[in-house]
């Protein structure tokens, strides 16, 4: 049974780069027809799709974040990662990684990231 | 791109049936799969419907999903409401480039 776990700093300073990693167990990020996804939820708000990386390495980004966003995968560690540059307080959120597409999404537990000096 | 519009909130009594709509602003609702997520307070979202009307294992058959092409909308119907169904529900679909689109979420109150 696949499991996902987010990791990374809980506090990031404004204008810096937010970096998170999702470690996958019980499945491979380089096999299967899945979207290895990042989703976030700002305090008291709804879900916002950030982007995903396909098992082949192709990436798909939310147009509103595209200029600041990079999603990559490390198949040797069975991980995929998120980098969001030039962060502001508006990027404060719970960040989730998930595996989705043509099957029920499997979500990580989420990690809270606060942008503050 | 298109938007998915959900009612902000719905409420119903235990044992009753409630339907949450998700209306697509442009393009056909049937052209891309719709998923529904349940998020209880303080919890991680979970899938309750995927691929328009498929129920994950472990989700009670009180939950069902459907499409209505006449209103260009998807619906999540929960019958035999229980207090444990009280949660936020989000619909999600894909655009023509396989990018995700979320609805704004619906708060279900069971009272």
Strand partners, B66: B75
- The percent of chain B in helix, strand and coil, each rounded to the nearest 5, is 5, 50, 45
Poorest-pLDDT segment among A30-39, A47-56, A73-82: A30-39
Interface of A to B at Cβ within 8 Å reads 35, 37, 46-49, 52, 60-63, 96, 100, 102-105, 107-110
User: C-alpha distances in angstroms, A57 versus A76, A80, B5, B22, B106?
Assistant: 13, 10, 32, 31, 34
CB contact under 8 A, B50 and A102: yes
In A42-92, where do the E strands start and end? 47-54, 59-61, 69-74, 79-84
Which residue of chain A has the CA closest to B101? A49
CB pairs under 8 A between A and B: 52
* pLDDT of residue A44 exceeding 80: yes
Distance from C-alpha of B78 to C-alpha of B96, rounded to nearest angstrom: 29
Which residue of chain A has the CA closest to B49? A104
Query: For each of chain B's 111 residues, which pLDDT tens digit applies?
Result: 899 999 999 999 999 999 999 999 999 999 999 999 999 999 999 999 999 999 999 999 999 999 999 999 999 999 999 999 999 999 999 999 889 999 999 999 999
The reported pLDDT for the residue numbered A55 is: 85
């Amino acid at each position: 049974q696949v499991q996902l776990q987010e990791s990374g700093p809980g506090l990031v300073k404004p204008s810096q780069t937010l970096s998170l990693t999702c470690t996958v167990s019980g499945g491979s990020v380089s096999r299967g027809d899945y979207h290895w996804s990042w989703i976030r939820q700002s305090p008291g708000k709804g879900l916002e799709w950030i982007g995903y990386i396909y098992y082949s390495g192709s990436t798909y980004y939310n147009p509103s974040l595209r200029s600041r966003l990079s999603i990559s995968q490390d198949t040797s560690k069975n991980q995929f990662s998120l980098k969001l540059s030039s962060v502001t307080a508006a990027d404060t959120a719970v960040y989730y990684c998930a595996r989705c597409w043509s099957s029920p999404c499997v979500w990580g537990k989420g990690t809270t990231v606060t942008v503050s000096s | 791109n298109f938007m998915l519009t959900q009612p902000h909130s719905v409420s119903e009594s235990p044992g009753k049936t409630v339907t949450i709509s998700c209306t697509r602003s442009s393009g056909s609702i049937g052209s891309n799969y719709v998923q529904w997520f349940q998020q209880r307070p303080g919890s991680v979202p979970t899938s309750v419907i995927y691929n328009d009307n498929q129920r994950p294992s472990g989700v009670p058959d009180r939950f069902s999903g459907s499409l209505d092409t006449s209103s260009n909308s998807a619906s999540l119907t929960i019958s035999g409401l229980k207090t444990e169904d009280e949660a936020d529900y989000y619909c999600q679909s894909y655009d023509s480039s396989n990018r995700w689109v979320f609805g704004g979420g619906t708060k279900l109150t069971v009272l």
